[in-house]
Amino acid sequence: MTYIKGEVQEIHLNRSNHFRSICTLNIYTKRTTGVVKLINIMPLRLVTRLTPKVGSTFMINAIHYLNLGGNTDTIFSRPRKVIHESHFERMKQMYDPKTISHVGALVFARNPYSRLFSAFVDKIFIVNSMGLAQSVRKFINANKNIDCVLDLEFSDFLKYALYAKTRVIDDHYRPASDLLNVHTICHAREIFIVKQETFSTDMEFLFTQRGLAPYKRDTLHRMVSCKRALSNVEELTYTSFLEFSNSVHHDCLNWNILTKRLWQSFQIQGYIHERSPLPKFEFSTKHDAQVFLRFVVEARTEHPVSKEQSALQRRKAITNVYNQVHESLKEDIVTQYHEDFELFQYDPSSVI
C-alpha cells in the first residue's frame, strides 16, 4: 500500500490550522472545566474521545487491536452490542491544558445535517432504539397524535433533538463539539481531524503519518476499506434482528415492515443498489438474520455498487429528506450546531 502525499496532507494541515485559529478566539473557555478523560491510543501516540456516528464502531475495534493486539478478523466480527460495551477505562487518562500539550489529539467530525439523518435512520427508522423512538413519540405527541413509532418522520426527530429538555442517547446526535472539551483539545501538541466524509483516506493518512508498523497499517487499511461495508452490514443486521425480536410484541410492529426498512436503510447508506428489491421471505425470528444477509450478498453480487453509485444514493436520500424539512428547523440546526460548522469547516447552507 502506497500513501500519496501532497493534496491530502495539505487538507489535513488546513483542518488543523483552522481548528487552532478558532482556538485563539478563546470562545469556548467559559463553559469548560479544562479537564477531560480521553482514550490513549498508545501505538499512535494520540489521545481521543470517540464520536458516535463518525466511524466509532470501527475505531473501538481498531483501538482494541492497536492497544491489546489479537486477531483482526475476530475483533472486527464481534456483535455490535459487544463492541459498544468496550469502555476502555484502563486506557483512559485525565488531561488538562498542560498535560495534553505533550501529546497529539485525534478529533472526529461529521456534517451535522448528515449526522442527524444517520441517527434518525439508525435509531428511529429501523427502530434500533425503541427507548429513543418512544421518547420522541411522547415528546411529539404533546402537539400531535402518533400511535406508532413507525409513523415518526425525520422532522419529528429533529424537533426532539433540537428542543427536548431531556433526551435519550443524545451523544449520537448532539453537536460533536459538545462531546469535546474544546478548550483542552486546543492545547494539544498536534491535532488530527478525521471526517466521516473522507474516513478511509483520513485513517490511511493518520496511520502513515504516525509511523504505524506497516503490517498493522495494512491490516487496518484492509478493514477500513474493502471489508468495512460488509462488516457494517453484518453488525447492523444481527443487532437489528435482535432488536426486532424484542420489539415485534408492539401492535404496530411486525417482521415484514421492519425487515423492509432495514433493507431500505442499506440502500440509503449505499450498501445495496437502489434497484435491488428485498426478496420475498417470511421473516419470523432473530435467527433469520442469516437469510437476510444471504439476500444482501446476492444483491451486491447481482448489482454491484460502485463508490460513485453509493455516494449518489446517500446524496439523493439526504437531499430528499431535507427538502421536506421546514426552513425554521434548518435555521435552528445552524444555530445549535454552529460550533460544528465553524470548527470543522462545514457549509451550513448545504446539506451535502
pLDDT along the chain (352 residues), means of 10: 66 95 71 79 96 92 92 82 76 92 96 98 93 95 92 97 94 93 91 95 93 92 74 86 83 89 96 96 94 96 93 96 97 97 96 90
Nearest to 193 by CA among 109, 115, 103, 101: 109
Compute the distance between CA of residue 279 and CA of residue 5 in angstroms, rounded to an integer.
45
Cβ neighbours for 301, distance < 8 A, ≥ 6 positions apart: none
Phi, psi of 115 (to 5 degrees): -65, -40
pTM recorded for the entire structure: 0.92
Distances (CA, A) of 167 to 132, 158, 173, 194, 230: 8, 12, 10, 27, 31
- The confidence score (pLDDT) of residue 83 equals 76
- The confidence score (pLDDT) of residue 27 equals 61
Cβ neighbours for 308, distance < 8 A, ≥ 6 positions apart: none
- The confidence score (pLDDT) of residue 177 equals 92
Tell the residue number behind the cell numbers 471526517, with chain if given. Answer: 195
Compute the distance between CA of residue 308 and CA of residue 312 in angstroms, rounded to an integer.
6
- The confidence score (pLDDT) of residue 164 equals 96
- The confidence score (pLDDT) of residue 43 equals 95
Compute the distance between CA of residue 259 and CA of residue 244 in angstroms, rounded to an integer.
9
- The confidence score (pLDDT) of residue 29 equals 45
What are 76's three cell numbers? 472486527
Compute the distance between CA of residue 152 and CA of residue 233 in angstroms, rounded to an integer.
24
Compute the distance between CA of residue 40 and CA of residue 114 in angstroms, rounded to an integer.
28
What are 223's three cell numbers? 478493514
